[in-house]
Amino acid sequence: TQLLEQSPQFLSIQEGENLTVYCNSSSVFSSLQWYRQEPGEGPVLLVTVVTGGEVKKLKRLTFQFGDARKDSSLHITAAQPGDTGLYLCAGISSGSARQLTFGSGTQLTVLP
Amino acid sequence: NAGVTQTPKFRVLKTGQSMTLLCAQDMNHEYMYWYRQDPGMGLRLIHYSVGEGTTAKGEVPDGYNVSRLKKQNFLLGLESAAPSQTSVYFCASSYGDGRLYGYTFGSGTRLTVV
C-alpha cells in the first residue's frame, strides 16, 4: 500500500494569513491531485500535477509537485473564511495498480 | 445536473442486517469506485470497476460485495452489517484511470450500524 502523509493534520489561522500544507510519501507517483471537501459533501478536485517540479496556481492557491514526484505542497495566500475545509492530497502510483491513494487530510479553519 | 448520485444519504442498520448502496453517474465514465471515509484515516478504497461487468477488490474489501451490471450504476452491498462498518461511504467515477482529470465524487452515504 502506498502511503501519503499530510501535515499538519489540523490548522486554525486568522483571515489574511498565509499557510502551507504538505503531502509526503516514500513512493513515486505518476500524478498527484489535491481535493477540497466540505462537511456533508464529497471531495472536489482542485488540481492535478503530473510533472516533477510542476507548479500550478489557482487564484490564491499554489500547488507544487516535488522534483522526484514523491511529495507536494499547497500554499494559500491571504486565507479567507471560504477556504475552510478538509484538504486531501491523493496520488496515483507509477505501478500497475492505478487506483487513487488518499492522504488523511488537513482540516483548515480560517477565522474571520 | 451531471454528476454522481448516491442513495440513500443516511441509513441506520442493526448488526447482521443487509443493505445495498446505489451509485449512479451520467458522465459515461468507464471507471467507478467505492470508498469509505473514517476520522483520521482519509478515504480507503473498498472495490472498484474498470467497466461494465467487471469488478475488483481495493484496500478494504472484506464484508462488502459489488456489482456493475450497467455502465452507469455501481452497487455496494453489505451482506451482514457489523459496527465496524459504521462510516461515510463515497462513490466516485473517472474518465479513464483518473490520472489527468481526477475523480468525481457523490455526496456520500452516512451509515450507522448499531
pLDDT per residue as tens, chain B (114 positions): 679 999 999 999 999 999 999 999 999 999 999 999 998 778 999 999 999 999 999 999 999 999 999 999 999 999 999 999 999 999 999 988 788 888 999 999 999 999
CB half-sphere exposure, B5, CA atoms < 13 A:
9
The yes-or-no verdict on residue A1 having pLDDT over 60 is: no
Contact A40 B108 (CB under 8 A): yes
Contact A40 B41 (CB under 8 A): no
Contact B58 A99 (CB under 8 A): yes
- Number of other CB atoms surrounding residue A73 within 10 Å: 17
pLDDT given for residue B85 in this prediction: 97
> Could you write out the DSSP letters of every residue in A15-32?
TT--EEEEEE-SS-EEEE
A112 contacts chain B (CB < 8 A) = no
The yes-or-no verdict on residue A48 having pLDDT over 90 is: yes
The rounded distance, in Å, linking the Cα atoms of B83 and B70 is 30
Nearest Cα neighbor of A88 from A44, A54, A58 is: A44
